[in-house]
A and B are shown apart, each in its own frame.
Chain A
Amino acid sequence: MRIVANYKHYKELNEEIFQAVQAGVAELTLEDVNGQRFIADCLKGKLNIDIYGTPGNDLGMFMDGPTVTVFGNAQDGVGNTMSSGKIIIHGDGRDILGHSMRGGKIFVRGDVGYRVGIHMKTYKSNVPIIVAGGRAGDFLGEYMAGGMIIVLGIHNRAKKAEILGDWIATGQHGGAIYVRGNVDDSKLGNGASQFPLTSDDEIAVKKVLKEYCHVFGLDLESLLDSEFTKIAPLSHRPYAALYTCE
Protein backbone atom coordinates (compact mmCIF):
# COMPACT_ATOMS: atom_id res chain seq x y z
CA MET A 1 0.00 0.00 0.00
CA ARG A 2 1.23 3.49 -0.86
CA ILE A 3 0.65 6.62 1.22
CA VAL A 4 1.77 10.06 0.11
CA ALA A 5 2.65 11.95 3.24
CA ASN A 6 3.23 15.30 1.60
CA TYR A 7 2.45 18.03 4.17
CA LYS A 8 0.26 15.87 6.38
CA HIS A 9 0.57 16.33 10.10
CA TYR A 10 2.08 13.30 11.77
CA LYS A 11 -1.16 12.50 13.59
CA GLU A 12 -2.97 12.14 10.32
CA LEU A 13 -0.22 10.15 8.65
CA ASN A 14 0.26 7.80 11.58
CA GLU A 15 -3.49 7.25 11.83
CA GLU A 16 -3.53 6.16 8.17
CA ILE A 17 -0.65 3.80 8.82
CA PHE A 18 -2.35 2.44 11.92
CA GLN A 19 -5.59 1.85 10.06
CA ALA A 20 -3.74 0.08 7.23
CA VAL A 21 -1.92 -2.17 9.66
CA GLN A 22 -5.18 -2.95 11.47
CA ALA A 23 -6.64 -3.91 8.12
CA GLY A 24 -3.84 -6.40 7.60
CA VAL A 25 -1.58 -4.49 5.22
CA ALA A 26 1.96 -5.84 5.59
CA GLU A 27 3.77 -3.81 2.94
CA LEU A 28 3.65 -0.02 3.15
CA THR A 29 5.39 2.63 1.12
CA LEU A 30 5.40 6.20 2.41
CA GLU A 31 6.30 8.86 -0.09
CA ASP A 32 7.13 12.54 0.29
CA VAL A 33 7.73 12.12 3.97
CA ASN A 34 9.20 15.26 5.51
CA GLY A 35 9.54 15.79 9.23
CA GLN A 36 6.57 13.67 10.34
CA ARG A 37 7.38 12.33 13.77
CA PHE A 38 6.76 8.98 15.45
CA ILE A 39 6.42 6.90 12.28
CA ALA A 40 6.09 3.21 13.20
CA ASP A 41 5.81 4.21 16.85
CA CYS A 42 4.90 1.12 18.85
CA LEU A 43 4.02 -0.94 15.78
CA LYS A 44 4.28 -4.70 16.26
CA GLY A 45 4.67 -7.85 14.20
CA LYS A 46 5.72 -8.60 10.66
CA LEU A 47 5.47 -5.46 8.61
CA ASN A 48 7.58 -3.67 6.02
CA ILE A 49 7.57 0.10 5.77
CA ASP A 50 9.59 1.87 3.10
CA ILE A 51 10.01 5.60 3.62
CA TYR A 52 11.03 8.09 0.94
CA GLY A 53 12.05 11.51 2.25
CA THR A 54 13.18 12.63 5.69
CA PRO A 55 11.11 11.11 8.52
CA GLY A 56 10.89 13.23 11.69
CA ASN A 57 12.12 12.58 15.22
CA ASP A 58 11.60 9.31 17.07
CA LEU A 59 11.22 7.07 14.05
CA GLY A 60 10.40 3.53 15.17
CA MET A 61 10.07 4.44 18.83
CA PHE A 62 8.97 1.49 21.01
CA MET A 63 8.76 -0.57 17.82
CA ASP A 64 8.51 -4.34 18.26
CA GLY A 65 9.02 -6.32 15.08
CA PRO A 66 8.58 -4.35 11.83
CA THR A 67 11.28 -3.52 9.30
CA VAL A 68 11.52 0.15 8.40
CA THR A 69 13.70 1.30 5.52
CA VAL A 70 14.49 4.98 5.00
CA PHE A 71 15.65 6.10 1.57
CA GLY A 72 17.23 9.29 2.80
CA ASN A 73 18.47 10.71 6.11
CA ALA A 74 16.70 10.32 9.41
CA GLN A 75 16.36 12.87 12.23
CA ASP A 76 17.07 12.53 15.95
CA GLY A 77 15.96 9.62 18.10
CA VAL A 78 15.72 6.72 15.64
CA GLY A 79 14.74 3.46 17.37
CA ASN A 80 14.18 5.12 20.73
CA THR A 81 13.46 2.40 23.35
CA MET A 82 12.80 -0.09 20.55
CA SER A 83 12.21 -3.75 21.43
CA SER A 84 12.76 -5.62 18.17
CA GLY A 85 12.63 -5.26 14.41
CA LYS A 86 14.94 -3.54 12.00
CA ILE A 87 15.54 0.03 10.88
CA ILE A 88 17.61 0.57 7.75
CA ILE A 89 18.76 4.07 6.86
CA HIS A 90 20.32 4.63 3.47
CA GLY A 91 21.56 8.08 4.43
CA ASP A 92 22.79 9.48 7.78
CA GLY A 93 21.38 8.99 11.24
CA ARG A 94 21.50 11.79 13.78
CA ASP A 95 21.71 12.16 17.56
CA ILE A 96 20.60 9.66 20.23
CA LEU A 97 19.96 6.98 17.62
CA GLY A 98 19.12 3.74 19.44
CA HIS A 99 18.50 5.47 22.78
CA SER A 100 17.66 2.82 25.41
CA MET A 101 17.20 0.26 22.66
CA ARG A 102 16.48 -3.21 24.07
CA GLY A 103 16.57 -5.35 20.93
CA GLY A 104 16.45 -5.29 17.14
CA LYS A 105 18.83 -3.78 14.64
CA ILE A 106 19.57 -0.33 13.26
CA PHE A 107 21.72 -0.29 10.13
CA VAL A 108 22.91 3.12 8.93
CA ARG A 109 24.72 3.48 5.64
CA GLY A 110 26.26 6.87 6.47
CA ASP A 111 27.30 8.74 9.64
CA VAL A 112 25.57 8.83 12.97
CA GLY A 113 25.45 11.73 15.44
CA TYR A 114 25.97 12.24 19.16
CA ARG A 115 25.12 9.83 21.99
CA VAL A 116 24.29 6.99 19.65
CA GLY A 117 23.36 3.78 21.44
CA ILE A 118 23.10 5.64 24.72
CA HIS A 119 21.96 3.28 27.44
CA MET A 120 21.20 0.39 25.12
CA LYS A 121 20.82 -2.87 26.98
CA THR A 122 20.19 -6.55 26.58
CA TYR A 123 17.25 -8.31 28.12
CA LYS A 124 16.79 -12.06 28.06
CA SER A 125 17.29 -13.15 24.46
CA ASN A 126 17.08 -9.59 23.07
CA VAL A 127 20.40 -8.15 21.96
CA PRO A 128 20.25 -4.73 20.29
CA ILE A 129 22.62 -4.05 17.40
CA ILE A 130 23.63 -0.77 15.74
CA VAL A 131 25.91 -0.57 12.72
CA ALA A 132 27.12 2.79 11.39
CA GLY A 133 28.79 2.79 7.99
CA GLY A 134 30.43 6.17 8.53
CA ARG A 135 31.60 7.98 11.63
CA ALA A 136 30.02 8.35 15.05
CA GLY A 137 29.98 11.48 17.20
CA ASP A 138 30.87 12.04 20.85
CA PHE A 139 29.46 9.89 23.65
CA LEU A 140 28.87 6.83 21.47
CA GLY A 141 27.57 4.03 23.68
CA GLU A 142 27.27 6.22 26.75
CA TYR A 143 26.07 4.18 29.78
CA MET A 144 25.94 1.21 27.40
CA ALA A 145 24.66 -1.76 29.34
CA GLY A 146 24.43 -4.38 26.62
CA GLY A 147 24.24 -5.12 22.92
CA MET A 148 26.60 -4.40 20.07
CA ILE A 149 27.63 -1.27 18.18
CA ILE A 150 29.82 -1.46 15.08
CA VAL A 151 31.41 1.63 13.50
CA LEU A 152 32.92 1.10 10.06
CA GLY A 153 34.09 4.56 8.96
CA ILE A 154 33.84 3.51 5.32
CA HIS A 155 33.96 6.85 3.52
CA ASN A 156 35.50 8.73 6.45
CA ARG A 157 38.54 6.49 6.49
CA ALA A 158 39.06 7.04 2.83
CA LYS A 159 39.16 10.78 3.58
CA LYS A 160 41.45 10.13 6.55
CA ALA A 161 38.87 11.77 8.80
CA GLU A 162 38.47 10.60 12.37
CA ILE A 163 35.74 8.03 12.63
CA LEU A 164 35.03 8.47 16.33
CA GLY A 165 34.23 11.48 18.49
CA ASP A 166 35.37 11.86 22.10
CA TRP A 167 34.22 10.20 25.34
CA ILE A 168 33.36 6.95 23.62
CA ALA A 169 31.61 4.40 25.85
CA THR A 170 31.77 6.64 28.89
CA GLY A 171 30.10 4.85 31.77
CA GLN A 172 29.81 1.65 29.76
CA HIS A 173 29.00 -1.32 31.95
CA GLY A 174 27.90 -3.94 29.43
CA GLY A 175 27.92 -4.81 25.75
CA ALA A 176 30.66 -4.10 23.25
CA ILE A 177 31.60 -1.55 20.59
CA TYR A 178 33.61 -2.73 17.59
CA VAL A 179 35.46 -0.14 15.56
CA ARG A 180 37.09 -0.82 12.25
CA GLY A 181 40.73 0.22 12.67
CA ASN A 182 42.68 1.54 15.64
CA VAL A 183 41.30 3.67 18.40
CA ASP A 184 43.35 6.11 20.43
CA ASP A 185 42.89 5.58 24.17
CA SER A 186 42.24 9.31 24.59
CA LYS A 187 38.93 8.76 22.79
CA LEU A 188 37.57 6.51 25.52
CA GLY A 189 35.43 7.75 28.38
CA ASN A 190 35.46 6.55 31.97
CA GLY A 191 34.90 2.88 32.59
CA ALA A 192 35.72 1.53 29.13
CA SER A 193 38.85 -0.04 27.76
CA GLN A 194 40.19 -1.69 24.62
CA PHE A 195 40.34 -5.46 24.36
CA PRO A 196 41.48 -7.85 21.66
CA LEU A 197 38.67 -9.57 19.80
CA THR A 198 38.05 -13.15 20.82
CA SER A 199 37.11 -15.68 18.18
CA ASP A 200 33.52 -15.42 19.44
CA ASP A 201 33.66 -11.68 18.86
CA GLU A 202 34.94 -12.21 15.34
CA ILE A 203 32.19 -14.64 14.52
CA ALA A 204 29.54 -12.31 15.92
CA VAL A 205 30.87 -9.25 14.07
CA LYS A 206 31.17 -11.14 10.82
CA LYS A 207 27.62 -12.43 11.12
CA VAL A 208 26.19 -8.95 11.62
CA LEU A 209 28.30 -7.42 8.87
CA LYS A 210 27.26 -10.09 6.44
CA GLU A 211 23.68 -9.04 6.90
CA TYR A 212 24.64 -5.35 6.77
CA CYS A 213 26.50 -5.83 3.49
CA HIS A 214 23.59 -7.72 2.06
CA VAL A 215 21.21 -4.89 2.92
CA PHE A 216 23.37 -2.19 1.37
CA GLY A 217 25.00 -4.22 -1.40
CA LEU A 218 28.51 -3.87 0.01
CA ASP A 219 31.45 -6.21 -0.24
CA LEU A 220 32.01 -8.01 3.06
CA GLU A 221 35.60 -8.97 2.39
CA SER A 222 36.70 -5.38 1.85
CA LEU A 223 35.13 -4.39 5.18
CA LEU A 224 37.08 -7.12 6.90
CA ASP A 225 40.34 -5.87 5.38
CA SER A 226 41.54 -4.34 8.62
CA GLU A 227 41.62 -5.25 12.29
CA PHE A 228 38.71 -4.29 14.51
CA THR A 229 39.11 -2.74 17.92
CA LYS A 230 36.83 -3.88 20.70
CA ILE A 231 35.73 -1.43 23.39
CA ALA A 232 34.18 -3.01 26.44
CA PRO A 233 33.61 -2.12 30.09
CA LEU A 234 36.23 -2.62 32.75
CA SER A 235 33.56 -3.49 35.26
CA HIS A 236 29.85 -4.10 35.47
CA ARG A 237 29.74 -1.92 38.57
CA PRO A 238 32.00 1.02 37.80
CA TYR A 239 30.66 3.22 40.59
CA ALA A 240 30.82 0.84 43.52
CA ALA A 241 33.35 2.98 45.45
CA LEU A 242 31.68 6.29 44.76
CA TYR A 243 29.40 6.50 47.73
CA THR A 244 29.82 6.43 51.46
CA CYS A 245 27.42 6.87 54.34
CA GLU A 246 27.22 9.49 57.04
Chain B
Amino acid sequence: MCSILGIVNENGKLFSAKYIIEGITLMNERCNGLGGGFAAYGLYPEYKDYYALHILLKDVELKDQVAEMLKDYVNIYKDEEIETRNVERIPQDYTPWRFFVDVPERYTNDADNYIIDLAMKINNTGGALVISSGKNMGVFKAIGYPDEVAKLYKLENYKAYMWLAHGRYPTNTRGWWGGAHPFSILDNSIVHNGEITSYGTNKRFLESYGYKCSYFTDSEVLAYLWDLLVRRHKLPIEVASEVLAPPFWEQIERMPPEKRRIVEALRMTYGPAMVNGPFSIVIANGSGLTGVAGNGTMVGLSDRIKLRPLICARKDETTFMASEESAIKAVCRNPDNVWAPRAGEPTVAMVNGDV
Protein backbone atom coordinates (compact mmCIF):
# COMPACT_ATOMS: atom_id res chain seq x y z
CA MET B 1 0.00 0.00 0.00
CA CYS B 2 1.32 3.39 -0.99
CA SER B 3 0.00 6.65 -2.32
CA ILE B 4 0.94 8.16 -5.65
CA LEU B 5 0.11 11.45 -7.29
CA GLY B 6 1.26 13.23 -10.42
CA ILE B 7 0.31 16.69 -11.65
CA VAL B 8 1.44 18.15 -14.95
CA ASN B 9 0.77 21.43 -16.68
CA GLU B 10 0.71 20.57 -20.35
CA ASN B 11 1.73 24.05 -21.39
CA GLY B 12 4.84 23.83 -19.27
CA LYS B 13 3.76 26.56 -16.85
CA LEU B 14 5.47 26.41 -13.50
CA PHE B 15 3.35 26.02 -10.38
CA SER B 16 4.09 25.84 -6.70
CA ALA B 17 4.68 22.61 -4.74
CA LYS B 18 1.73 23.47 -2.54
CA TYR B 19 -0.72 21.53 -4.75
CA ILE B 20 1.20 18.30 -4.90
CA ILE B 21 1.85 18.45 -1.14
CA GLU B 22 -1.82 18.97 -0.34
CA GLY B 23 -2.91 16.19 -2.64
CA ILE B 24 -0.43 13.59 -1.44
CA THR B 25 -1.01 14.47 2.21
CA LEU B 26 -4.68 13.69 1.85
CA MET B 27 -3.68 10.09 1.24
CA ASN B 28 -1.46 9.75 4.33
CA GLU B 29 -3.77 6.90 5.33
CA ARG B 30 -2.10 4.87 2.57
CA CYS B 31 1.43 5.19 4.00
CA ASN B 32 3.16 4.65 7.33
CA GLY B 33 5.74 7.38 7.57
CA LEU B 34 8.62 5.25 6.41
CA GLY B 35 9.24 7.12 3.18
CA GLY B 36 8.05 10.07 1.18
CA GLY B 37 9.32 11.85 -1.87
CA PHE B 38 8.80 14.21 -4.77
CA ALA B 39 10.11 14.69 -8.28
CA ALA B 40 9.93 18.10 -9.88
CA TYR B 41 10.48 19.08 -13.51
CA GLY B 42 11.37 22.58 -14.61
CA LEU B 43 13.28 23.22 -11.39
CA TYR B 44 16.48 24.70 -12.71
CA PRO B 45 15.73 26.73 -15.85
CA GLU B 46 18.96 28.69 -15.47
CA TYR B 47 20.97 25.42 -15.49
CA LYS B 48 18.81 23.44 -17.86
CA ASP B 49 21.70 22.35 -20.05
CA TYR B 50 23.44 20.65 -17.17
CA TYR B 51 22.71 17.30 -15.62
CA ALA B 52 21.49 18.04 -12.12
CA LEU B 53 22.74 15.33 -9.80
CA HIS B 54 20.88 15.11 -6.49
CA ILE B 55 23.10 13.10 -4.21
CA LEU B 56 22.43 11.91 -0.66
CA LEU B 57 25.63 11.90 1.38
CA LYS B 58 25.82 9.54 4.33
CA ASP B 59 28.29 11.96 5.85
CA VAL B 60 28.82 15.55 4.81
CA GLU B 61 32.57 14.92 4.74
CA LEU B 62 32.01 12.58 1.81
CA LYS B 63 31.18 15.59 -0.31
CA ASP B 64 34.78 16.30 -1.27
CA GLN B 65 35.37 12.67 -2.06
CA VAL B 66 32.32 12.57 -4.35
CA ALA B 67 33.35 15.82 -5.99
CA GLU B 68 36.81 14.39 -6.65
CA MET B 69 35.28 11.32 -8.17
CA LEU B 70 32.95 13.38 -10.33
CA LYS B 71 35.82 15.49 -11.58
CA ASP B 72 37.39 12.38 -13.08
CA TYR B 73 34.39 11.98 -15.32
CA VAL B 74 32.50 15.26 -15.75
CA ASN B 75 32.86 19.02 -15.47
CA ILE B 76 31.23 20.39 -12.35
CA TYR B 77 29.60 23.69 -13.18
CA LYS B 78 28.23 24.37 -9.74
CA ASP B 79 27.48 22.52 -6.53
CA GLU B 80 25.70 23.33 -3.31
CA GLU B 81 23.98 21.78 -0.36
CA ILE B 82 20.26 21.27 -0.92
CA GLU B 83 18.66 23.41 1.72
CA THR B 84 16.80 21.54 4.46
CA ARG B 85 15.26 22.33 7.82
CA ASN B 86 14.95 20.13 10.88
CA VAL B 87 11.85 18.02 11.02
CA GLU B 88 11.28 16.25 14.26
CA ARG B 89 10.40 12.80 13.00
CA ILE B 90 13.02 12.59 10.26
CA PRO B 91 16.39 11.22 11.35
CA GLN B 92 19.24 13.13 9.76
CA ASP B 93 20.75 10.11 8.07
CA TYR B 94 21.90 11.96 4.98
CA THR B 95 22.95 15.36 3.74
CA PRO B 96 21.49 16.13 0.31
CA TRP B 97 23.74 17.86 -2.20
CA ARG B 98 23.25 18.99 -5.77
CA PHE B 99 25.84 19.13 -8.54
CA PHE B 100 25.30 20.65 -11.95
CA VAL B 101 27.60 18.85 -14.35
CA ASP B 102 28.21 18.39 -18.01
CA VAL B 103 29.89 15.66 -19.96
CA PRO B 104 33.32 16.10 -21.58
CA GLU B 105 33.02 16.80 -25.25
CA ARG B 106 34.35 13.46 -26.45
CA TYR B 107 31.49 11.69 -24.63
CA THR B 108 28.63 13.95 -25.65
CA ASN B 109 27.44 11.50 -28.29
CA ASP B 110 26.54 9.03 -25.61
CA ALA B 111 26.10 11.45 -22.74
CA ASP B 112 22.98 9.82 -21.27
CA ASN B 113 24.57 6.40 -20.90
CA TYR B 114 27.71 8.06 -19.62
CA ILE B 115 25.74 9.72 -16.84
CA ILE B 116 23.94 6.49 -15.96
CA ASP B 117 27.25 4.66 -15.67
CA LEU B 118 28.60 7.43 -13.50
CA ALA B 119 25.53 7.34 -11.23
CA MET B 120 25.90 3.58 -10.83
CA LYS B 121 29.58 4.01 -9.99
CA ILE B 122 28.82 6.53 -7.28
CA ASN B 123 26.07 4.33 -5.86
CA ASN B 124 28.57 1.50 -5.60
CA THR B 125 30.88 3.53 -3.37
CA GLY B 126 28.55 2.98 -0.45
CA GLY B 127 28.23 6.33 1.25
CA ALA B 128 26.66 8.35 -1.55
CA LEU B 129 23.39 7.78 -3.41
CA VAL B 130 22.48 9.49 -6.65
CA ILE B 131 18.73 9.98 -6.34
CA SER B 132 18.25 11.88 -9.58
CA SER B 133 20.39 12.69 -12.56
CA GLY B 134 18.26 14.40 -15.22
CA LYS B 135 18.34 17.91 -16.59
CA ASN B 136 16.16 20.68 -15.18
CA MET B 137 14.65 18.28 -12.67
CA GLY B 138 15.32 16.77 -9.30
CA VAL B 139 14.13 14.29 -6.71
CA PHE B 140 13.65 15.03 -3.01
CA LYS B 141 13.07 12.10 -0.73
CA ALA B 142 13.62 10.83 2.80
CA ILE B 143 12.09 8.80 5.59
CA GLY B 144 8.87 10.32 6.88
CA TYR B 145 5.38 11.12 5.64
CA PRO B 146 5.33 13.06 2.38
CA ASP B 147 4.31 16.32 4.07
CA GLU B 148 7.21 15.95 6.49
CA VAL B 149 9.61 15.34 3.63
CA ALA B 150 8.23 18.43 1.86
CA LYS B 151 8.88 20.41 5.01
CA LEU B 152 12.39 18.97 5.32
CA TYR B 153 13.36 20.08 1.83
CA LYS B 154 11.54 23.44 2.03
CA LEU B 155 9.65 22.45 -1.09
CA GLU B 156 7.38 25.46 -0.75
CA ASN B 157 10.25 27.41 -2.32
CA TYR B 158 10.20 25.42 -5.57
CA LYS B 159 8.12 25.65 -8.70
CA ALA B 160 7.83 23.10 -11.47
CA TYR B 161 5.62 22.28 -14.45
CA MET B 162 5.41 18.62 -13.53
CA TRP B 163 5.37 17.05 -10.08
CA LEU B 164 5.31 13.50 -8.80
CA ALA B 165 4.74 12.54 -5.20
CA HIS B 166 4.81 9.35 -3.22
CA GLY B 167 3.92 8.22 0.28
CA ARG B 168 5.42 4.91 1.21
CA TYR B 169 4.29 1.88 3.15
CA PRO B 170 7.35 -0.37 2.76
CA THR B 171 6.68 -4.06 2.40
CA ASN B 172 9.72 -5.95 1.26
CA THR B 173 12.52 -3.67 2.27
CA ARG B 174 13.17 -1.56 5.33
CA GLY B 175 12.32 2.11 5.38
CA TRP B 176 15.35 4.23 4.53
CA TRP B 177 16.04 7.39 2.60
CA GLY B 178 17.28 5.56 -0.45
CA GLY B 179 14.26 3.29 -0.54
CA ALA B 180 11.77 6.14 -0.76
CA HIS B 181 10.23 7.01 -4.12
CA PRO B 182 10.39 8.51 -6.70
CA PHE B 183 13.04 6.41 -8.38
CA SER B 184 14.78 8.27 -11.08
CA ILE B 185 17.19 7.56 -13.87
CA LEU B 186 18.15 10.46 -16.11
CA ASP B 187 14.90 12.28 -16.86
CA ASN B 188 12.61 9.40 -15.98
CA SER B 189 11.09 9.31 -12.52
CA ILE B 190 8.62 6.82 -11.25
CA VAL B 191 6.27 6.50 -8.31
CA HIS B 192 4.72 3.16 -7.67
CA ASN B 193 2.02 1.54 -5.58
CA GLY B 194 2.06 -2.23 -5.27
CA GLU B 195 4.38 -5.15 -4.97
CA ILE B 196 5.84 -6.81 -8.00
CA THR B 197 5.78 -10.59 -7.95
CA SER B 198 8.09 -10.80 -10.95
CA TYR B 199 10.94 -8.84 -9.35
CA GLY B 200 13.55 -11.59 -9.75
CA THR B 201 12.68 -12.18 -13.39
CA ASN B 202 12.69 -8.45 -14.19
CA LYS B 203 15.93 -7.87 -12.33
CA ARG B 204 17.78 -10.69 -14.04
CA PHE B 205 16.47 -9.53 -17.41
CA LEU B 206 17.76 -6.01 -16.77
CA GLU B 207 21.12 -7.33 -15.64
CA SER B 208 21.68 -8.90 -19.02
CA TYR B 209 21.24 -5.40 -20.49
CA GLY B 210 23.87 -3.97 -18.17
CA TYR B 211 21.71 -2.50 -15.39
CA LYS B 212 22.69 -3.03 -11.78
CA CYS B 213 19.82 -3.08 -9.32
CA SER B 214 21.26 -1.76 -6.08
CA TYR B 215 18.22 -0.52 -4.12
CA PHE B 216 16.37 -3.86 -3.87
CA THR B 217 13.04 -2.29 -4.60
CA ASP B 218 10.41 -2.85 -7.22
CA SER B 219 10.35 0.76 -8.23
CA GLU B 220 13.99 0.79 -9.20
CA VAL B 221 13.33 -2.13 -11.52
CA LEU B 222 10.37 -0.28 -13.04
CA ALA B 223 12.45 2.83 -13.65
CA TYR B 224 15.15 0.81 -15.41
CA LEU B 225 12.62 -1.14 -17.48
CA TRP B 226 11.09 2.10 -18.66
CA ASP B 227 14.54 3.47 -19.48
CA LEU B 228 15.40 0.33 -21.44
CA LEU B 229 12.16 0.24 -23.40
CA VAL B 230 11.58 3.91 -24.11
CA ARG B 231 15.02 5.46 -24.25
CA ARG B 232 17.24 2.63 -25.40
CA HIS B 233 14.85 0.51 -27.48
CA LYS B 234 12.85 3.55 -28.60
CA LEU B 235 9.45 1.98 -28.17
CA PRO B 236 6.50 4.37 -28.21
CA ILE B 237 4.96 4.93 -24.78
CA GLU B 238 1.83 2.93 -25.59
CA VAL B 239 3.97 0.03 -26.76
CA ALA B 240 6.26 0.17 -23.73
CA SER B 241 3.15 0.11 -21.56
CA GLU B 242 1.98 -2.96 -23.42
CA VAL B 243 5.27 -4.63 -22.52
CA LEU B 244 4.90 -3.87 -18.81
CA ALA B 245 1.20 -4.81 -18.69
CA PRO B 246 0.59 -6.97 -21.75
CA PRO B 247 -2.81 -8.18 -22.90
CA PHE B 248 -3.61 -11.84 -22.26
CA TRP B 249 -3.04 -14.32 -25.09
CA GLU B 250 -6.77 -14.83 -25.44
CA GLN B 251 -7.20 -11.08 -25.90
CA ILE B 252 -4.32 -10.98 -28.36
CA GLU B 253 -6.01 -13.67 -30.43
CA ARG B 254 -8.99 -11.37 -30.93
CA MET B 255 -6.86 -8.49 -32.24
CA PRO B 256 -6.61 -7.49 -35.92
CA PRO B 257 -3.72 -9.33 -37.68
CA GLU B 258 -0.96 -6.69 -37.75
CA LYS B 259 -1.66 -5.56 -34.21
CA ARG B 260 -1.62 -9.16 -33.15
CA ARG B 261 1.74 -9.76 -34.83
CA ILE B 262 3.24 -6.82 -32.97
CA VAL B 263 1.86 -7.77 -29.56
CA GLU B 264 2.92 -11.38 -30.00
CA ALA B 265 6.42 -10.26 -30.92
CA LEU B 266 6.50 -7.98 -27.89
CA ARG B 267 5.37 -10.68 -25.50
CA MET B 268 7.79 -13.22 -26.92
CA THR B 269 10.73 -10.83 -26.80
CA TYR B 270 9.96 -8.92 -23.65
CA GLY B 271 8.24 -11.67 -21.63
CA PRO B 272 10.78 -11.24 -18.80
CA ALA B 273 10.02 -7.48 -18.75
CA MET B 274 6.35 -8.10 -18.01
CA VAL B 275 5.57 -6.70 -14.59
CA ASN B 276 3.45 -9.14 -12.66
CA GLY B 277 1.49 -8.62 -9.50
CA PRO B 278 -0.38 -5.53 -8.39
CA PHE B 279 0.92 -2.15 -9.45
CA SER B 280 -0.12 1.31 -10.41
CA ILE B 281 2.57 3.73 -11.47
CA VAL B 282 3.01 7.25 -12.65
CA ILE B 283 6.09 7.92 -14.74
CA ALA B 284 7.34 11.39 -15.50
CA ASN B 285 9.76 12.06 -18.29
CA GLY B 286 11.44 15.41 -18.74
CA SER B 287 12.59 17.24 -21.79
CA GLY B 288 16.29 16.86 -21.46
CA LEU B 289 16.84 13.47 -23.04
CA THR B 290 19.22 13.28 -25.95
CA GLY B 291 17.34 12.28 -29.04
CA VAL B 292 13.88 12.27 -27.48
CA ALA B 293 11.43 14.73 -28.94
CA GLY B 294 8.88 16.75 -27.01
CA ASN B 295 9.09 18.50 -23.72
CA GLY B 296 8.10 15.69 -21.46
CA THR B 297 5.32 13.33 -20.66
CA MET B 298 3.50 11.91 -17.73
CA VAL B 299 2.21 8.34 -18.00
CA GLY B 300 -0.15 6.55 -15.64
CA LEU B 301 -0.48 2.78 -15.85
CA SER B 302 -1.94 -0.02 -13.75
CA ASP B 303 -1.34 -3.77 -13.91
CA ARG B 304 -3.27 -5.82 -16.41
CA ILE B 305 -5.88 -7.13 -14.02
CA LYS B 306 -6.17 -3.88 -12.09
CA LEU B 307 -5.09 -4.90 -8.65
CA ARG B 308 -4.12 -1.32 -7.69
CA PRO B 309 -6.15 1.85 -8.14
CA LEU B 310 -5.45 4.71 -10.52
CA ILE B 311 -7.70 7.69 -11.20
CA CYS B 312 -7.05 10.44 -13.70
CA ALA B 313 -8.56 13.89 -14.12
CA ARG B 314 -8.18 16.96 -16.28
CA LYS B 315 -8.86 20.59 -15.67
CA ASP B 316 -8.03 23.03 -18.46
CA GLU B 317 -4.34 22.45 -19.23
CA THR B 318 -3.57 20.34 -16.17
CA THR B 319 -3.67 16.55 -15.88
CA PHE B 320 -3.79 14.67 -12.60
CA MET B 321 -3.07 11.01 -11.86
CA ALA B 322 -3.61 9.58 -8.39
CA SER B 323 -4.31 6.56 -6.22
CA GLU B 324 -7.54 8.15 -5.05
CA GLU B 325 -9.90 10.65 -6.58
CA SER B 326 -10.03 12.56 -3.32
CA ALA B 327 -6.34 13.48 -3.68
CA ILE B 328 -7.15 15.18 -6.95
CA LYS B 329 -10.25 16.83 -5.55
CA ALA B 330 -8.16 18.19 -2.70
CA VAL B 331 -6.31 20.41 -5.15
CA CYS B 332 -8.84 20.69 -7.95
CA ARG B 333 -12.39 20.88 -6.73
CA ASN B 334 -14.14 20.75 -10.08
CA PRO B 335 -12.18 18.90 -12.72
CA ASP B 336 -13.57 18.93 -16.25
CA ASN B 337 -13.31 15.20 -16.40
CA VAL B 338 -12.50 12.36 -13.99
CA TRP B 339 -11.95 8.81 -15.18
CA ALA B 340 -10.58 5.43 -14.17
CA PRO B 341 -8.23 4.16 -16.90
CA ARG B 342 -8.63 0.54 -17.86
CA ALA B 343 -6.16 -2.07 -16.67
CA GLY B 344 -2.94 -2.01 -18.64
CA GLU B 345 -4.05 0.99 -20.67
CA PRO B 346 -1.67 3.95 -20.35
CA THR B 347 -2.91 7.46 -19.77
CA VAL B 348 -0.48 9.87 -21.39
CA ALA B 349 -0.22 13.60 -20.83
CA MET B 350 2.18 15.44 -23.14
CA VAL B 351 3.91 18.69 -22.29
CA ASN B 352 3.64 20.88 -25.37
CA GLY B 353 4.61 24.29 -24.14
CA ASP B 354 8.13 25.58 -23.72
CA VAL B 355 9.67 24.56 -20.48
Contact = CB atoms under 8 A, between A and B. Distances in A.
A and B touching (Cβ–Cβ under 8 A): yes
Contact of A37 (B29, B306, B338): B29
Nearest to B338: A73
B182 interface: no
Contacts of B248: 166
Interface in B299-313: 305-306, 309, 311
A95 interface: yes
Contacts of A94: 309, 311, 325, 340
Contacts, number: 59
Contacts of A75: 309, 324-326
Chain B: number of interface residues, binned into ranges: 20 to 34
A113 B340 CA distance: 8
Contact of B306 (A53, A111, A137): A137
A64 interface: no
Contact of A138 (B27, B306, B324): B306
Interface in A103-129: 111, 113-115
B330 interface: yes
A73 B306 contact: no
Given A35-B26, A138-B343, A166-B251, A114 B306 contact: yes
A57 B329 CA distance: 15
Chain A: number of interface residues, binned into ranges: 20 to 34
B309 A34 contact: no
A73 B325 contact: yes
B122 to A, nearest CB: 39
A181 interface: no
A212 interface: no
B306 A35 contact: no
A54 interface: yes
Interface in B1-34: 26-27, 29
Contacts of B27: 35
A186 B326 contact: no
Interface in A35-70: 35, 37, 53-54, 56-57
A130 B305 CA distance: 22
Contact of B26 (A34, A92, A111, A114): A34
Interface string B245-277: 000101100100000000000000000000000
A136 to B, nearest CB: 12
B327 A35 contact: yes
A139 interface: yes
A95 B305 CA distance: 11
A35 B326 contact: yes
Contacts of B340: 92, 94-95, 111, 113, 137
Interface string B310-340: 0100000000000011110110000000101
A119 B248 CA distance: 23
A114 B341 CA distance: 11
B231 interface: no
A114 B307 CA distance: 9
Contacts of A166: 248, 251
Interface in A83-109: 92, 94-95
Contacts of A95: 306, 309, 340
B32 to A, nearest CB: 16
Contacts of B309: 75-76, 94-95
B342 interface: yes
A140 to B, nearest CB: 12
B305 A34 contact: no
A245 B311 CA distance: 46
11 contacts: A35-B325, A35-B326, A35-B327, A57-B324, A75-B309, A76-B309, A92-B338, A94-B340, A114-B305, A114-B343, A165-B342
Given A35-B27, A35-B327, A75-B309, 10 more contacts: A7-B26, A35-B26, A56-B29, A73-B325, A94-B309, A94-B311, A94-B340, A114-B343, A115-B306, A186-B254
Interface of B: 26-27, 29, 248, 250-251, 254, 305-306, 309, 311, 324-327, 329-330, 338, 340, 342-343
